[in-house]
């Protein structure tokens, strides 16, 4: 058996924290004039808590992606990120979020190269033919630089919102050091890395070429990544959005080192590593495009080869301001955004009912709801935000939820009916617009 996917597993029913119930009540008032949008929001906003979240006896929290019974580091953060602004005065929500942070950092100790984990050491795996150093805890072991960055992002935003430091124990600090050491190792992937990954399933994007090592790269100061946030193999293994995310995560870890752990030696190490990665992005990650001017590439190998595209997943080029690397008015980002939303991007599609960014992870002409949500979140005008909300509202195929990809000509043709990350990102955009008073 090559692929091991279980049927849908119902999670124990979780009572919604009071702060989340209050948001739903607020929406009842502010979206009353948009009944379909209101119902979408009422379905999507609590979806992670209602269908994918399990409180564990050890005080941690386990969050599945939806239709797959495993927890992705990346997905689980984005599934709950829209709840963080309500956590300051809600102990129930604090329990859920702090428990997820603790579980993340437990998993990083088990295997910092893995992207998805099991609820227990049950030896379940996405694919039984993977050639890599597997653990019974690991569902999938595709090294994606963003996975570790998302773990840091969750802890940082939780800390900044609540002021609570209970998650920053010795286990957290030692896992943080593991992240730093892995990043330093993967700056010199071919010389120092123990990581290999191949999968014998006939799908080229599921394996790393060159006997699991990946294609050659030049030293740039950036961090090597095997796979993208779509779980597809990189073409060139310096993923620029992923390295931008690493710079943001390293800056956040600098704050942990200085203000939580009071470790000035660790702070200095983090500053040096941050400067190395950022220098690599600025030196190797910008492409002079004949039409759009200087843009951020999606990937490079440091030898002058570039992958010019954008993918619907986060981190991607569209999400650069969302991650916090630069602001939305950054000139190179604005050039990059225009490129990503043009037919120069091979994964930008226009059809009879929609236009937007898709992914090589899904068939041609499939636009992702997450890409439309991210376009709205990072938009600088109310008009573009409202345009994206209207498009999302019109393309749910009357299911009441967001999906992965849908056909640009027919939204009733879609992938993944239960995809909590997509529901959460949509909810984030709608709530942002509600608070801005533009809905």
Measured N-to-C along each axis, helices 91-110 and 170-186 cross at an angle, to the nearest 10 degrees, of 50
Secondary structure tally for the chain: helices H, strands E: 15, 15
The reported pLDDT for the residue numbered 10 is: 58
The SS3 assignment for 289 reads: strand
B/e letters for 332-364, b = 16+ CB within 10 Å, e = fewer, are bbbbbbbbbbeebbebbbebeebebbbbbbbee
**Nearest Cα residue to 333 out of 310, 355, 357, 358:** 310
pLDDT tens, position by position, 367-424: 999 999 999 999 999 999 999 999 999 999 999 999 999 999 999 999 999 999 999 9
pLDDT at 43 over 60: yes
Dist. CA 32–CA 34, nearest whole Å: 5
Assess contact for 4 and 128: CB atoms under 8 A: yes
pLDDT at 6 over 80: no
Rounded mean pLDDT of 243-254?
Answer: 98
pLDDT at 65 over 60: yes
Q: Hey, what are 369's tokens?
A: 């709801």
Helix or strand (DSSP H, E) at 140: strand 138-140
Dist. CA 190–CA 185, nearest whole Å: 9
pLDDT at 155 over 90: yes
CA 192 to chain centre: 27
Provide the residue ranges of all domains of the chain, joining segments of one domain with +. Answer: 18-436
The reported pLDDT for the residue numbered 1 is: 24
Assess contact for 339 and 292: CB atoms under 8 A: yes
**Nearest Cα residue to 312 out of 433, 394, 425, 144:** 425
**Nearest Cα residue to 354 out of 381, 385, 392, 316:** 392
pLDDT at 152 over 80: yes
Measured N-to-C along each axis, helices 91-110 and 73-80 cross at an angle, to the nearest 10 degrees, of 170
Q: What angle do CA 342, 343, 346 make, to 5 degrees?
A: 115
The reported pLDDT for the residue numbered 9 is: 56
pLDDT tens, position by position, 118-139: 999 999 999 998 999 999 999 9
The residues, any chain, with a CB within 8 Å of residue 206's CB and separated by 6 or more, are: 127, 199, 232, 233
CATH topology of domain 18-436: Glycosyltransferase (1.50.10)
pLDDT tens, position by position, 177-215: 999 999 999 999 999 999 999 999 999 999 999 999 999
The SS3 assignment for 59 reads: coil
**pLDDT, the chain, mean:** 96
Provide the pLDDT confidence category of residue 94 given band limits of 50, 70 and 90.
Answer: very high
User: Model's pTM, two decimal places?
Assistant: 0.96
pLDDT tens, position by position, 323-342: 999 999 999 999 999 999 99
């Amino acid at each position: 058996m090559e692929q091991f996917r279980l049927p849908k597993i119902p999670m124990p029913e979780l009572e919604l924290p009071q702060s989340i119930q209050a948001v739903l009540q607020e929406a009842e008032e502010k979206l009353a004039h948009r009944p379909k949008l209101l119902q979408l929001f009422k379905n999507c906003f609590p979806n992670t808590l209602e269908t994918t979240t399990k409180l564990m006896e050890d005080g941690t929290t386990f969050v599945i992606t939806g239709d797959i019974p495993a927890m992705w580091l990346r997905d689980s953060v984005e599934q709950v990120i829209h709840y963080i602004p309500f956590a300051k005065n809600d102990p129930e929500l604090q329990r859920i979020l702090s428990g997820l942070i603790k579980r993340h950092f437990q998993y990083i100790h088990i295997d910092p190269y893995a992207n998805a984990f099991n609820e227990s050491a049950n030896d379940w795996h996405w694919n039984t033919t993977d050639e890599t150093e597997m653990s019974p805890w690991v569902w999938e072991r595709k090294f994606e630089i963003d996975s570790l960055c998302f773990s840091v992002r969750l802890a940082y935003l939780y800390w900044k919102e609540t002021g609570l430091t209970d998650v920053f124990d010795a286990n957290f600090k030692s896992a943080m050091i593991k992240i730093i050491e892995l990043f330093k190792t993967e700056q010199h992937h071919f010389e120092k890395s123990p990581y290999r990954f191949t999968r014998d399933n006939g799908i080229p994007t599921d394996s790393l070429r060159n006997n699991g090592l990946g294609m050659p790269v030049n030293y740039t100061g950036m961090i090597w990544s095997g796979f993208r946030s779509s779980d597809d193999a990189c073409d060139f293994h310096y993923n620029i959005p992923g390295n931008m995310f690493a710079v943001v995560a390293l800056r956040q870890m600098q704050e942990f080192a200085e203000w939580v752990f009071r470790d000035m030696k660790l702070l200095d190490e983090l500053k040096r590593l941050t400067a190395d990665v950022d220098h690599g992005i600025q030196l190797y990650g910008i492409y002079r495009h004949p039409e759009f001017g200087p843009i951020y590439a999606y990937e490079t190998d440091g030898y002058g080869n570039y992958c010019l595209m954008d993918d619907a997943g986060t981190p991607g080029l569209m999400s650069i301001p969302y991650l916090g690397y630069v602001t939305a008015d950054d000139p190179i980002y604005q050039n990059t955004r225009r490129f990503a939303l043009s037919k120069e991007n091979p994964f930008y599609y226009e059809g009879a009912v929609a236009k937007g960014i898709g992914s090589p992870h899904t068939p041609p002409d499939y636009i992702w709801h997450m890409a439309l949500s991210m376009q709205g979140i990072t938009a600088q005008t109310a008009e573009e935000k409202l345009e994206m909300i209207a498009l999302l509202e019109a393309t749910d195929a009357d299911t009441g939820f967001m999906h992965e990809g849908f056909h640009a000509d027919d939204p009733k043709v879609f992938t993944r009916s239960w995809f909590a990350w997509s529901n959460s990102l949509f909810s984030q955009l709608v709530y942002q617009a509600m608070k801005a008073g533009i809905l």
